[in-house]
Amino acid sequence: MRVRIFESELELVTGDITEQDVEAIVNPANRLLKLGAGVAGAIARKGGPMIQRECDAIGGCDVGSAVITGSGELPCRFVIHAVGPKMGEGEEDEKLASCVDAVFDLCAKNSIQTVAFPAVSTGVYGVPADLCANAMLSATIRRLKGEGAPGRVIYCLFDLATLTEFETALGELWKGR
């Protein structure tokens, strides 16, 4: 699914985020910036140890915030590490929206015009895909309407069930616009 939002394009796809043709990919990070399993594990395996070394030098990141590193051996230029919430800690939707804002701020600061997001916090952190989709896409649409937004934003989702949740949310959020 693809929609045009002012000067930007928003696309929903399934696949491997590490293989997307973008300048930056988003890692759904933990507070300590330790690359473990899931998307972070794929980034670590394919990008090599340089990414973890850069994360270690940064030291950590608060929930709802993001930091940027190089991409090691990945085809993109940057990895943006966004720390999402754990389900049950409260205000999950606001924290996910804050992650999106933090990523967009780093994109603007680093002149990044293409970025790929995963469904942040839907893995081991347990946030339901529909909650994630509504929170992240609402924040993305709001930011794409403003100045300095990337020209292309991809949500690269792991499976068809998550893609369906994001398509449903985008359809509802973009209805009648």
42-63 per-position pLDDT tens digit: 999 999 999 999 999 999 999 9
Q: How confident is the model at residue 137 (pLDDT cuts 50, 70, 90)?
A: very high
Question: Would you place residue 146 in the very low, low, confident or very high pLDDT band (cuts 50, 70, 90)?
Answer: confident
Domain 2-174, CATH number (from 3.40.50.620, 3.40.190.10, 3.40.220.10, 3.30.56.10): 3.40.220.10
**pLDDT 10s digits, 70-128:** 999 999 999 999 999 999 999 999 999 999 999 999 999 999 999 999 999 999 999 99
Residue type, 19: E
CA neighbor of 61 nearest in space, from 22, 31, 82: 31
Q: Is the pLDDT of residue 163 over 60?
A: yes
- The tokens for 170 are 């985008």
Q: What pLDDT, in 10s, does the model give residues 4-24?
A: 988 999 999 999 999 999 999
Instruction: State the pLDDT at residue 150.
Output: 96
Sheet holding 66-70, edge to edge: 2-5, 8-14, 152-157, 114-117, 24-29, 78-83, 66-70
Q: Identify whether the C-beta of residue 141 lies closer than 8 Å to the C-beta of residue 174.
A: yes
CA distance 27 to 43: 8
Indicate the pTM of the whole model: 0.97
Nearest partner of 30 among 87, 105, 98, 82, judged by Cα: 82
- Give pLDDT, residue 176: 52
Judged against a pLDDT cut of 90, whether residue 174 lies above it is answered with no
Across 150-159, average pLDDT:
96
Q: Give the residue with greater pLDDT, 152 vs 147.
A: 152
